[in-house]
């Protein structure tokens, strides 16, 4: 019997050859001067072109958006050219790839911004330790964005989406989860504004909708997805409370209106962090599936069998895998043959260099 994971599916305008999606994975292998995708990155993504869809690592939309070292951008001509080499390599092997557009907001450090604080909806320190060439510095109190500055960030996403198409990407994904800038607008832990961007669900979703509308001016909505992680708790300075589920329900309802290619929905980022949390959802996909009017990609530490079970239960249209793709460039073939998976080498996730990046064995090697 053919695995449903191995069958084709359409997500908006994206025709996937299988339902095994490569999740966005920050790997810190980029040039740290111009944030230009490297030759290593071209080879890495090409190795994984067997995925039904590759979602690129988080790609920063402007210098202001940066939160980590060695992460790629998509605002300069050099970056566009670097990404074009990556997308060409993926397409030559029959793959599809979309660009995940990223703004870290307050999850950043002054050292990345000429000594100035990062930006956020409100001047609230997430009190988090960040990864940096200087070690693990603590975050600082961010600068609260003005209305004009918010409009500037919206324009940055519009430009990034246009550049993604110029770089040969098949579409884009808005990184609106994991405690980064969009999540900061959604969360009452990060957003205490008293203007049209704070307070009500509609107001806290306003920036998200403005970005969708701006991106839609340069990219068809059926090539655009968004990623949400409603149950991230005690991580990156945001928490699950009584308002969390209603807020994310509102976000999904608003996203429904745009005819997006997909919703990339994460299960609990760290389930143990939901212990003793009365407002937590035990199954994010089961809750939001009836509410989402667009195809759904499930993400949540699934293996082959649990991912297949999600599909058979009708809880998603495709399944995203992260660590499994890091260690298994031929993941789809391994699923098809029921072959064991290589274990990932955690020590090399962000270490730079080819070790733990390009050297995992394949079944045909």
Identify whether 16 is part of a domain.
Answer: yes
Q: Any idea what the CATH number is for the domain that residue 311 is in?
A: 3.20.20.70
pLDDT computed for residue 140 by the predictor: 98
Q: Is pLDDT above 70 for 247?
A: yes
The mean per-residue pLDDT over the stretch 79-87 comes to 98
Q: 187 falls in which pLDDT band (50, 70, 90)?
A: very high
pLDDT tier, 125 (very low <50, low <70, confident <90, very high otherwise)? very high
Does some domain include residue 180? yes
Q: Is residue 222 part of a domain?
A: yes
Average pLDDT over every residue of 308-330 = 98
What is the mean pLDDT of the segment spanning 201-217?
98
Burial class (CB in 10 A: 0-12, 13-18, 19+), 346: exposed
- 3-state SS class at 312: helix
Q: Single out the catalytic residue among 180, 258, 357, 360.
A: 180
Residue 352 has pLDDT above 70, yes or no: yes
How high is the pLDDT of residue 134? Answer: 83
pLDDT at 269 over 80: no
Residue 276's pLDDT is 81
Q: CB within 8 A of 204, min separation 6: which ones?
A: 185, 186, 191, 197, 198, 247
Residue 365: pLDDT band with limits 50, 70, 90: low
Contact 126, 236 (CB under 8 A): yes
pLDDT at 234 over 90: no
Residue 270, pLDDT score: 73
Mean pLDDT confidence for 358-364:
95
293: closest CA among 221, 215, 214, 206? 221
Measure Cα distances from 253 to 86, 192, 205, 242, 318 in Å: 34, 23, 11, 18, 20
**Which comes out higher in pLDDT, residue 294 or 234?**
294
* Mean pLDDT value across residues 51-70: 97
Residue 1 pLDDT grade (very low, low, confident, very high; cuts 50, 70, 90): confident
Mean local confidence (pLDDT), 314-330? 98
Q: Domain range for residue 334?
A: 4-348
357, part of any domain: no
Ranking 30-44, 129-143, 271-285 by mean pLDDT, the lowest is 271-285
pLDDT of 348 strictly over 80:
yes
Instruction: Give the whole-number percent of the chain exceeding pLDDT 70.
Output: 99
Residue 364 falls inside a structural domain: no
Mean pLDDT, the chain, whole residue set? 96
Express the helix, strand and coil content of the chain in percent, nearest 5 each: 35, 15, 50
Residue 211 forms part of a structural domain: yes
Contacts of 59 (CB under 8 A, 6+ apart): 71, 72, 73, 74, 83, 99, 100, 101, 102, 160, 164
Number of domains in the chain: 1
* Residue 180 annotated to the active site: yes
Per the domain annotation, does 361 fall within a domain? no
Report if pTM > 0.85: yes
177 CB contacts (<8 Å, ≥6 apart)?
183, 227, 228, 229, 232, 266
Average pLDDT for 66-88: 97
Cα gap 60→101, rounded to integer Å: 6
Categorize the per-residue pLDDT at 272 as very low, low, confident or very high, splitting at 50, 70 and 90. confident
Q: How confident is the model at residue 127 (pLDDT cuts 50, 70, 90)?
A: very high
C-alpha distance from residue 283 to each of 199, 267, 280 (Å): 27, 7, 9
């Amino acid at each position: 019997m053919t695995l449903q994971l191995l069958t084709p599916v359409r997500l908006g305008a994206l025709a996937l050859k299988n339902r095994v999606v490569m999740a966005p994975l920050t790997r810190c292998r980029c040039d740290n001067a111009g944030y230009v995708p490297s030759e290593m990155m071209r080879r890495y993504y090409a190795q994984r072109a067997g995925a039904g869809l590759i979602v690129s690592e988080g790609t920063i939309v402007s210098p202001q958006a940066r939160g980590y070292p060695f992460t790629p951008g998509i605002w300069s001509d050099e970056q566009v050219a670097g990404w074009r080499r990556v997308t060409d390599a993926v397409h030559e092997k029959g793959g599809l790839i979309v660009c995940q557009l990223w703004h870290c907001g307050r999850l950043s450090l002054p050292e990345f911004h000429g000594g100035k604080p990062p930006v956020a909806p409100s001047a609230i320190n997430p009190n988090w330790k960040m990864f940096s060439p200087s070690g693990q510095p603590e975050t600082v109190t961010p600068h609260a964005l003005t209305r004009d500055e918010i409009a500037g960030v919206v324009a940055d996403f519009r430009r990034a989406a246009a550049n993604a198409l110029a770089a040969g990407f098949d579409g884009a994904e808005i990184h609106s989860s994991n405690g980064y800038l969009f999540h900061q607008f959604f969360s009452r832990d990060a957003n205490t504004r008293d203007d049209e961007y704070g307070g009500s669900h509609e107001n806290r979703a306003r920036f998200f909708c403005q970005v969708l509308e701006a991106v839609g001016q340069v990219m068809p909505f059926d090539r655009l997805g968004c990623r949400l992680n409603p149950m991230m708790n005690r991580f990156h300075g945001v928490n699950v409370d009584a308002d969390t589920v209603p807020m994310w329900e509102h976000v999904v309802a608003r996203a429904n209106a745009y005819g997006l290619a997909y919703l990339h929905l994460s299960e609990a980022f760290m389930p143990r962090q939901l212990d003793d949390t009365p407002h937590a959802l035990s199954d994010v996909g089961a809750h939001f599936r009836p509410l989402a009017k667009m195809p759904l990609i499930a993400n949540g530490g699934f293996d082959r069998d649990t991912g297949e079970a999600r599909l058979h239960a009708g809880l998603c249209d495709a399944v995203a895998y992260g660590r499994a793709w890091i260690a298994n460039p031929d993941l789809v073939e391994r699923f098809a043959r029921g072959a064991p998976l290589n274990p990932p080498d955690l020590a090399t996730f962000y270490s730079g260099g080819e070790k733990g990046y390009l050297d995992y064995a394949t079944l045909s090697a």
